[in-house]
Structure 1
Amino acid sequence: MQNLIKRILGITVIVVLIVLAFKYCQFKKEDDSDMEYNTNLIQQQILNVGKLVVTEGHFSEVVTYKNQQKYFLDMLSFEKKALIVVNADVTVAYDLHQMKYDIDEKNKTITILNIPKEEIKINPDIKFYDVEQSKLNPFTGDDYNKINKSVKANLAKKIENSSLKKNAQNRLISELSKILILTNSMGWTLQYNGKTIESEKEFTEDLKL
């Protein structure tokens, strides 16, 4: 009788251990499945964010170009000049496909490693008016190169002092905040520049906008 009871107890213990082991494996499988789902969802969101964020602007300016060639100990000179009207389309863009990040599944942390710098493209349309020149001092390719270089330099200064870059940076923050919203909603942590990001304001401060 005692042997029968021992056998029954032994079988019961084995059954209980098998059930517990099965439950543990099932729980582990569900946990791994959830983790994989969350990771894939985050990667998909980052892929959706990873696009070219573009802000466009238009600038105009009028430039007077003059150049003088002197001969015979400066006794004789030949001048050329022109009124130049510049209309330029400017784009400021962030290619977020170049953004680098790391996903730590174990600690549920996304770390943004690098945010690309803005790309500024200036496409000027330059037109000449009131052109005055002589055969001894005509307009040449060198003049056009100098004018083009000077125009782009002046436009670059205007862009720095305008709201164009700031608007582009605001759009960048808006795109990055989509990642922040997703990570917060899923209980993950977003880090950048060695800090945990919890708001758009912290993004702005860390990007020094």
Structure 2
Amino acid sequence: MTKYTGILSFIFGIILTVFLFLSWRSCNKKEDAALINQDYYLITNQIQKMNKMVVLEQDFSSFQTHKSSAANIAGFDILPREMVLYTTAKAQVSYDLKQMKIDVDTVNKKLILQEIPQPEIKIFPDVKIHFMDDYAINRFTQKDINGVMESAKKNMAKSVNQNNLKEQSKKQLKDNLNDIFVLAKALHYSIEDKTNTFPATEL
């Protein structure tokens, strides 16, 4: 009887040990899964907060001069007239971050930038007459003034260096995405940029 009791105790001990091990392993898996789900939620929630946003604004200004005359005889302007315009422009660079595609790889703990939308550039020029000099018989008509002002607006818009704006907007974009990057790094995620928007050394 004692022999069988010992064997049964031994078998029961093994079963109990296996049961406790499986229970512990199951609990650990559940905890790991909960942590992964929590990480995923925190990062994706931060991403979803991103919206279309203006990331860069710059102001430009210049003076433009328009000269014309009623006629030119022997190199001399007859009844010359002149208009000096003060032109300004506000340039905005924005990204529609709703179109941004970021994958959260919870297995390999990676935040992967799959797609970043192209920057949208808008330029809002404005023109004011700073000085105007004409003759009573060679006046600027309202049509002339409107044409000169419209031309000045176009010239102002063309003078804005859009390539330079795009480069500067990348730096500002990274600053705006920094909340996501900092959170990912705090959760021990590496950041991989498949769009080649940012140098790897900056991530």
TM over 0.5: yes
TM-score by length of 2: 0.71
SS at match of 1:124: strand
* Greater mean alpha carbon deviation, residues 93-102 or residues 136-145: 136-145
Separation in structure 2 between the aligned mates of residue 108 and residue 84 of structure 1, nearest angstrom:
58
Which one of the candidate residues 138, 152, 156 is aligned to 1:151?
156
SS at match of 2:170: helix
TM-aligned CA distance change 1:100 to 1:182, over 3 Å: same
Shift of the alpha carbon at 1:131? 7.0
Read off the aligned partner of 2:157 and give its amino acid letter.
K
Shift of the alpha carbon at 1:36? 0.7
Shift of the alpha carbon at 1:60? 1.3
SS at match of 2:144: coil
Whether the 8 Å contact between 1:50 and 1:99 is mirrored in structure 2 is no
Written as runs of structure 1 = structure 2, the 5 A alignment for 1:103-182 is 103-128=104-129, 129-130=131-132, 138-139=143-144, 145-154=150-159, 156-157=160-161, 167-182=168-183
TM-score by length of 1: 0.69
Q: What do the CA deviations read for 1:58-80 (whole angstroms, capped 9, x no partner)?
A: 2211222356899xxxxxx9988
TM-aligned CA distance change 1:109 to 1:64, over 3 Å: same
Percent pairwise identity:
25
SS at match of 2:184: helix
The residue that corresponds to 1:100 in the other structure is: 101
Shift of the alpha carbon at 1:168? 3.7
TM-aligned CA distance change 1:198 to 1:91, over 3 Å: closer
Whether the 8 Å contact between 1:52 and 1:96 is mirrored in structure 2 is yes
Separation in structure 2 between the aligned mates of residue 83 and residue 114 of structure 1, nearest angstrom:
46
Written as runs of structure 1 = structure 2, the 5 A alignment for 1:33-72 is 33-48=34-49, 52-65=53-66
Separation in structure 2 between the aligned mates of residue 59 and residue 144 of structure 1, nearest angstrom:
16
The residue that corresponds to 1:202 in the other structure is: 202
Identify unmatched segments of 5+ residues in structure 1. 71-76, 204-209
TM-aligned CA distance change 1:198 to 1:59, over 3 Å: closer
Shift of the alpha carbon at 1:142? 6.2
Read off the aligned partner of 1:130 and give its amino acid letter.
M
Separation in structure 2 between the aligned mates of residue 7 and residue 69 of structure 1, nearest angstrom:
120
Read off the aligned partner of 1:40 and give its amino acid letter.
Y
Separation in structure 1 between the aligned mates of residue 91 and residue 140 of structure 2, nearest angstrom:
36
> Is 1:32 the counterpart of 2:36 in the alignment?
no
The residue that corresponds to 1:74 in the other structure is: none
Shift of the alpha carbon at 1:160? 5.3
TM-aligned CA distance change 1:131 to 1:148, over 3 Å: farther
Q: How many residues align?
A: 191
Read off the aligned partner of 1:182 and give its amino acid letter.
L
The residue that corresponds to 2:74 in the other structure is: none
The residue that corresponds to 1:206 in the other structure is: none
TM-aligned CA distance change 1:136 to 1:121, over 3 Å: closer
Shift of the alpha carbon at 1:33? 0.3
